[in-house]
Amino acid sequence: MLFNQVNEEGLTYEPLESGVALKRMLNFNVPPVKNSTGEPVWKVLIYDRFGQDIISPLLSVKELRDMGITLHLLLHSDRDPIPDVPAVYFVMPTEENIDRMCQDLRNQLYESYYLNFISAISRSKLEDIANAAIGANAVAQVAKVFDQYLNFITLEDDMFVLCNQNKELVSYRAINRPDITDTEMETIMDTIVDSLFCFFVTLGAIPIIRCSRGTAAEMVAVKLDKKLRENLRDARNSLFTGDTLGAGQFSFQRPLLVLVDRNIDLATPLHHTWTYQALVHDVLDFHLNRVNLEESTGTEGTPAGARPKKKNKKSYDLTASDKFWQKHKGSPFPEVAESVQQELESYRAQEDEVKRLKSIMGIEGEDEGAISMLSDNTAKLTSAVSSLPELLEKKRLIDLHTNVATAVLEHIKTRKLDVYFEYEEKIMSKSTLDKSLLDMISDPDAGTPEDKMRLFLIYYISSSQAPSEIDLDQYKKALMDAGCNLAPLSYIKQWKAFTKMASAPTSYGNSTPKPLGLFSRVMNTGSQFVMEGVKNLVLKQQNLPVTRILDNLMEMKSNPETDDYRYFDPKMLRGSDSSVPRNKNPFQEAIVFVVGGGNYIEYQNLIDYIKGKQGKHVLYGCSELFNATQFIKQVGTFNSYSVILITVITMTSVTGF
């Protein structure tokens, strides 16, 4: 039986190497030949839920088919034997999964078995597979066994998240739970470190690590440094030797890993946003690059006594192959609506040109055979016909973004999200407010109870001084009258009190979005988006706390906010408790990782920041990806003494390493 440990060569930023590693895995762990015209080897893909989540944002069903995958099935589903086809497995090395794989061997389900584990499999579990193969007389059928080190999910070329299955085990609430034991905390940290280790194995790079002191991020840094250090010392089995380091972009300068704790900034995850991708994630069901919409069934009423009609659910993939999405996902929403309209008008013009050419040639119908017969007589018609597949794809994307943008716009208008976004930006930048907070909370026509709660929490977090008890009681009454659940406020109060003791309040810059006035009744004649009453806000670049921390550490700036950040270099023979970086040169590449959960607002802010830094690259990662609804739900489940308890536990655990 062949047992190899596999890691991907080098690092490029388009895309993250996990996609390359997956394609190689599906080609029986041999790099696929580019421009190969031969038929692929037909095979079956067997994955668990973890494997499914890793593959689905990166490879479409069509791409899988092009690589010879005829069937893709869940490991624990009922599967029929296909004895003349090889099977590629991609699963976590759990006890349950190993048992099922051994059962497949005993049942002789497939011709041969290529076993790929998302994380490293232990020796004892490997022996279980070997024993099962011997018992089933199937040793010859087990072609390869690989550790893939792909225990993370790549959502964008420059964004990754650790897990989707069982994400509550590494959630903000799990890390900051008041009754957490040291053992449970160790397990959470080990889970995060295992995924980050896989990430750096896949990149083929050993980072310089910086982190804040006395936080969960420090616990991760200490454990990751130790794990990388131990792997480097084991020269025989090291995953960072040989070709791996020589081929990457990091062969001359290593990347910076900035580990930050979610607790440094709780306002941003609650903030209403104004860019397309972040809005889709905030107001729609957007999950692993797929958005699920409920389509309206029309305005006709349901007859009295009849069962109400079910709403149609439609799913759309928003991936790297969608050029419109790639271009506009970071744009302010009004720009997106305008661009969809422009794309639609461009498509209609092209469609009209094809129809005009058909008419000139005397072909009014849709008989493609007749068109092809005449195509050699007119270059224009040939060009028009050959562009039809491209036109159809363009129409599909226009329809997709029309539906998605319309659904977002509905939320903006009914909840007045533009007003909330502008007001929160003013609060966070300490600008003058044109309307009192009590009036905003009490306005029955503006926002849901959750919107109002988010607004008040941002005000409370951003205030340099907490409101007096009398004022707070007034706000609480207004929030309760608006139907708000006050549970999250109890936690934020305690968090705020501790943060004030520990450090200065977080700053969010001092620029606010510039309003260009209200949209007219429609953007232009024939527009599909009725933007009446929606503010046309232009964003100004301002660095959020996470971006500011990165800027300080990447550019080697001296700043009280980051001067005390710990410094780890896994390549050094001995670890140290130093905050003084040995490397004095600015970094060209960096990975920002948020322990406790991240969001698309921070991701977009980092992308906008790095655009102005020529030749530099940033990747954004987080232990989980949540929107404001999910985050406020987690915060609302804490007791009022959570912060104090978890702080004591975290500080004890960090110093106890």
- Give the domain extent around 391: 276-415
367 burial type by CB count under 10 A (0-12 exposed, 13-18 middle, 19+ buried): exposed
Which stretches in the chain have pLDDT values below 70? 1-17, 34-37, 242-252, 296-311, 357-387, 500-533, 535-539, 575-582, 639-657
Residue 516 structure tokens: 């260009």
Q: CATH no. for residue 229?
A: 3.40.50.1910
Q: CATH no. for residue 495?
A: 1.25.40
**CA 156, CA 318: separation in Å to the nearest integer?**
10
**CA 244, CA 254: separation in Å to the nearest integer?**
13
DSSP E strands: which ranges in 245-398?
256-261, 285-287, 290-295, 312-317
Q: Angle, nearest 10°, between helix axes 487-502 and 628-635?
A: 80
**Helix ranges, 361-486 (H):** 368-374, 379-386, 388-415, 417-428, 437-442, 449-462, 469-481
Q: What is the 3-state secondary structure (H, E, C) of 571-601?
A: CCCCCCCCCCCCCCCCCCEEEEEEECCECHH
The one-character DSSP state at 115 is E
462 and 407 within one domain? no
295 and 398 within one domain? yes
Quote the pLDDT of residue 497: 83
478 and 405 within one domain? no
280 and 237 within one domain? no
User: Quick check: is 639 in a domain?
Assistant: no
DSSP E strands: which ranges in 486-625?
514-518, 535-538, 566-568, 589-595, 617-622
User: Quick check: is 530 in a domain?
Assistant: no
* Domain end (from 150, 181, 205): 150
Quote the pLDDT of residue 198: 94
**CA 228, CA 206: separation in Å to the nearest integer?**
8
277 burial type by CB count under 10 A (0-12 exposed, 13-18 middle, 19+ buried): buried
DSSP E strands: which ranges in 24-178?
43-47, 69-74, 87-91, 113-117, 142-147, 153-156, 159-161
User: Quick check: is 643 in a domain?
Assistant: no
Q: CATH no. for residue 41?
A: 3.40.50.2060
* Domain end (from 150, 180, 213): 150
Please tell me the total number of residues recorded for the chain in this structure: 657
405 and 434 within one domain? no
Strand pairing report for 208-211 and 566-568: antiparallel
Quote the pLDDT of residue 15: 38
Before 15, cis peptide (omega within 30)? Answer: yes
**CA 170, CA 173: separation in Å to the nearest integer?**
8
**CA 55, CA 71: separation in Å to the nearest integer?**
14
Quote the pLDDT of residue 518: 43
Quote the pLDDT of residue 312: 80
H and E: helices and strands count for the chain: 24, 18
Contact in structure between 584 and 556 (CB atoms under 8 Å): yes
User: Quick check: is 317 in a domain?
Assistant: yes
Residue that is written with structure tokens 């941003």 in the block:
268
* Domain end (from 502, 525, 554): 502
Q: What is the 3-state secondary structure (H, E, C) of 162-231?
A: CCCCCHHHHCHHHHCCCCCCHHHHHHHHHHHHHHHHHHHHHHCCCCEEEECCCCHHHHHHHHHHHHHHHH
410 and 462 within one domain? no
User: Quick check: is 246 in a domain?
Assistant: yes
299 and 187 within one domain? no
Cβ within 8 Å of residue 647, ≥6 positions away: 214, 498
Quote the pLDDT of residue 392: 84
Q: How many CB atoms lie within 10 A of CB 379?
A: 9
479 and 354 within one domain? no
**CA 239, CA 202: separation in Å to the nearest integer?**
9
166 and 78 within one domain? no
Quote the pLDDT of residue 644: 44
* The total number of structural domains that make up the chain: 4
Quote the pLDDT of residue 429: 87
Strands laid side by side in the 43-47 sheet: 3-5, 142-147, 113-117, 87-91, 43-47, 69-74
129 and 22 within one domain? yes
323 and 407 within one domain? yes
**CA 296, CA 301: separation in Å to the nearest integer?**
12
Q: CATH no. for residue 293?
A: 3.90.830.10
Quote the pLDDT of residue 11: 31
pLDDT digits (tens, 9 = 90+) for 231-240: 988 877 788 8
423 and 405 within one domain? no
